[in-house]
Each structure stands twice: as C-alpha cells, then as structure tokens.
Amino acid sequence: MGAGPAGLLLSHLLATNGIESVVVENRSREYCEARQRAGVLEGGTAELLRSVGLGKRLDAIGMEHGGIYLQFDGSRHYVDFRSLTDGRTVTVYAQTEVVKDLIAARLAAGGAIEFSATSVSVSDVASDRPVLSYVDADGTPRSVSCDVIAGCDGFHGICRPLIPEISVYERTYPYAWLGVLADAVPSTDELIYSRHESGFALYSMRSPSVSRLYLQVAPDEKLEEWSDDRIWSELQKRFAVDGWSVAEGPVREKSVTPMRSFVSGPMRYGRLFLAGDAAHIVPPTGAKGLNLALSDVVVLANALRAALLSGSWELADAYSDTCLRRVWRATHFSWWMTSMLHVAPGADAFEAQLQLSQLRYVTSSRAQATALAENYTGYRPARLQT
Ligand code: FAD
Ligand code: DHB
C-alpha cells in the first residue's frame, strides 16, 4: 500500500526474488513524482540503490558531499565526514528522482502500480490470506487476496490504525520549516545548517542551478505572508557571514512542513507489516526520513523472501525489533540536531548559551564531530539477501 519510496522499493526488491506484488496508491503518478520532500541519501542508501540496478541517474546527477557546515554566532565551521570516518559521504539526490527511478523500473519490468485508486481498504490481516480492496482509476472495484500486506502508506495512511494495542512515542516541536525551491545557483559547495537568533536555516541544493532552502517558521505559519523578497532577505540574514551572500533567483515552489518525532510499534500485526513513515517520523534536521524508510524495506524484503519462499518466519518475527533499533538511533540523532539548531519560542538566554556551547563543542572536539559524522552518513546498512 503506497507508491512512496518504501512501497516502490519493496515491490522492486520482491520482484528480484520472484515474488509478485501490486502497489496500490491513491494519488496520480504525476503527483507522486512531483512531491517535494527529502534530498540526502546516506552512503549505504546510495550503495543499496546501485546494487539493485537503480544507480544510473543517481550517478549521473546525484551530488556526493563529504561534509556539512555548521554555522552559529556569525561564523561557519566545516565538519569533514571523510576524515572523521573511514571516508564516508552522503549524496544529494532528491526523493522525487528516487521515486521517478523506481516507478520507471517497476513499469519497465511489467510491475503493477495502481495509481489514483479510491476506496482503498484492508481486511483479514490476522488470517493468512489478507485482502486489499480498492476501486481502480477506471472505476472498476478490485480485490487482491495476498500472502502479506505492506503498509507503506505514510504517516496519514490507513494501515497503522489496524494494529491493535500499538504503542506510540511522540514529540511535536513548536516550529515548522518553510521549504523553498529556487532557480538559483547554489552559493555553497556543501550544505549549511545555520543557527541564528531569528531561527534555523538550511541551505541545500538540487542541481548546479537549483537551490533548496529551508527556514524555521511558526507551526501555523501562513505561506501567503512569505513573499519572495521576504524569503530572500530572511535567508540573507540567517546565513550572513562576512564577504559572502546567498545567490537569489526565481522561487519555483514553497511549502510549510510541520516537525514531529513519532515512533510506533510493533510494526507488524499478523500478515500486515508497516514500513517507513507509516510507522515512524523524524524531524527533517538529520536528513533521516527517506533513509529509514528504505532501510525498513530491505529488512522486510529479506524477511518476506525467507517466509514466502522457504516458509521460515523467524526474520518476519524479528522485523519490528530489527527496524526499531535503527529507528530509535535516528530518532535520537534527529531530535539532537533539531534541539541544537532551532530557537524555540520563549526559549531563554540559558537555553541559547547551552546550544552555542554544544555547537562550539561539536566543531572543536574530534570525538563530538565524529559522533555527528557517523550518525549523519548513516549506520551499517541492512544487507539485502538475494
Ligand atoms: P511516503 O513518501 O509518505 O509515501 C506514502 C505513500 O502512500 C504516498 O504516495 C501516499 O499518497 C500513499 N497513501 C497514503 N494513504 C494511502 C491510502 N489510503 N491508499 C493508498 N495509498 C496511500 N525527510 C528528510 O529526510 N528531509 C526532508 O526535507 C523531508 N521533507 C519532508 C517534507 C514533507 C512534507 C514530508 C511529508 C516528509 C518529508 N521528509 C523529509 C520525510 C521523507 O520524505 C519521508 O520519510 C519519506 O517520504 C518516507 O517514505 P514512505 O514511502 O514511507 O512514505
Ligand atoms: C535536505 C533536507 C533535509 O531535511 C536535510 O537535513 C538536508 C537536506 C534537502 O531537501 O536537500
């Protein structure tokens, strides 16, 4: 269920093991391919995509990054991932591109993706023949009798509520991100995470001519109050360092994203498995959401391969615990990055001094910088079994 990165990659991995699937998605293909979201792939995620035949455009247009800048108190400090780790890097490759690659690969292989489905529902998940029902784009009611159903239907999906007695751990943050996509040549070689008294700002990119920028705003921020001029002047202010400025250009798109940490478990009930945002959300500051979704799917593909091809359900029984260990590490890291860099409304001078002390520590202690580098570039990837 769901043609986001999780559902599409799972379908692709199952197909490589000869396991048939149908992906049911309630949005159109155009919508799924245009939805602006994440942009950073951990080294292990990029390797995974290459290893399953999805590396061509990634290698052509993905941009490898060997570190990030942390900016505070008007100065910028480089955290060099390559020298802090055993040469690890990340790749800036937009989620929209990952989704396009996956859709193209599934369709080229004759895979079934039902876009624009309506009345999607799931039943009998406690039996060994759960049923997925929907009305297809032509208005024909369909019903699929399945071995398993993977709920990859995102945070607002319908699968998570089907797990009885699920535990939920949640934190909402008193701010949101205004995301901006602009036809402006990036003025920086590496991403910049900036803490400023007016709030956090992040400088990312999509190509040598397109910048992706984020500004901390209020959770109920009204988009119409952010003219392009106001966006650029706020970005100039929050990224200001002597002798440098943000290159401006036409704003192509802008939107507001709320910030939340959310973990639910178990991620399985009977023959229903949750993966990706359907089970957990992290605030975007650590660039982990997309990577976690794809990591769940590798664990799930291995488990389903063992269960459906060899009748061995041990990996499936361990699925939730295996995923949640990584999810909690990423949840802690994302919370830590978020808390260090954002200015909470009403935060006092004590809190500001703690943040600045932490930022000075991370940018001066090799041990602290290594901890950031290890978490940002990613954890030991789940190994795909073939
Ligand atoms: P999704 O991408 O949400 O895919 C779920 C799919 O299921 C969707 O296509 C949806 O249409 C479909 N669906 C939902 N309900 C149904 C239904 N009832 N029937 C059929 N289909 C259904 N992460 C970062 O690391 N950095 C970022 O900057 C960042 N920005 C984000 C901005 C936004 C607005 C959001 C929502 C997320 C952002 N994320 C970011 C997180 C990252 O994009 C997600 O972690 C990632 O999309 C998870 O992939 P997924 O496949 O699990 O879920
Ligand atoms: C991007 C998004 C993030 O959340 C992040 O931490 C880094 C980069 C991006 O969209 O490029």
pTM over 0.85: yes
Name the closest ligand to CA 212: 2
pLDDT along the chain (386 residues), means of 10: 98 97 98 94 96 98 98 98 97 97 98 98 97 98 98 98 97 97 98 98 97 97 97 98 97 96 98 98 98 98 98 98 98 98 97 98 98 94 78
Amino acid at position 298, single letter: V
Cβ(39) to ligand 2 under 6 A? yes
pLDDT digits 0-9 by tens, 347-362: 999 999 999 999 999 9
Using CA atoms, how far apart are residues 200 and 179, in angstroms rounded to an integer? 12
Burial pattern 340-370, b for ≥16 Cβ within 10 A else e, equals: bbbbeeeeeeeeeeebeebbeebbeeeebbb
Amino acid at position 68, single letter: I
**Residue 144 burial class via C-beta count within 10 angstroms: exposed 0-12, middle 13-18, buried 19 and up:** middle
Q: How far is the CA of 220 from the centre of ligand 2 (A)?
A: 21
**CA nearest ligand 1 atom 46, residue:** 290
Rg of the chain on CA atoms, in Å:
21
Q: Is the Cβ–Cβ distance between 343 and 197 less than 8 Å?
A: yes
Give the pLDDT score at 383.
Answer: 82
Query: What is the atom index within ligand 1 of the atom nearest the CA of 120?
Result: 19
Question: In 3D, which of 174, 333, 154, 344 has the Cα closest to residue 260?
Answer: 174
Using CA atoms, how far apart are residues 259 and 345, in angstroms rounded to an integer? 14
Catalytically active residues, by annotation = 65, 193, 284, 288, 376
Q: Residue 50, Cα to own-chain centre: how many angstroms?
A: 18
Query: What is the atom index within ligand 2 of the atom nearest the CA of 337?
Result: 6
Residues in Cβ contact with 315 at an 8 Å cutoff, skipping those fewer than 6 apart: 299, 302, 303, 306, 307, 322
Cβ(26) to ligand 1 under 6 A? yes
Q: Is the Cβ–Cβ distance between 159 and 278 less than 8 Å?
A: yes
Does residue 64 sit in helix, strand or coil?
strand
For a ligand 2 pocket test, name from 81, 194, 202, 257 the mutation site with the most ligand atoms within 8 angstroms of its C-beta.
202
**CA nearest ligand 1 atom 15, residue:** 157
Residues in Cβ contact with 273 at an 8 Å cutoff, skipping those fewer than 6 apart: 148, 149, 150, 151, 267, 300, 303, 304, 316, 319
Q: How far is the CA of 111 from the centre of ligand 1 (A)?
A: 21
Using CA atoms, how far apart are residues 307 and 59, in angstroms rounded to an integer? 34
Name the closest ligand to CA 95: 1
Q: How many CB atoms lie within 10 A of CB 91?
A: 19
Cβ(180) to ligand 1 under 6 A? no
Residues in the chain: 386
Cβ(286) to ligand 1 under 6 A? no
Query: What is the atom index within ligand 2 of the atom nearest the CA of 284?
Result: 4
Name the closest ligand to CA 293: 1
Give the pLDDT score at 380.
Answer: 73
Question: In 3D, which of 51, 45, 151 has the Cα closest to residue 98?
Answer: 45
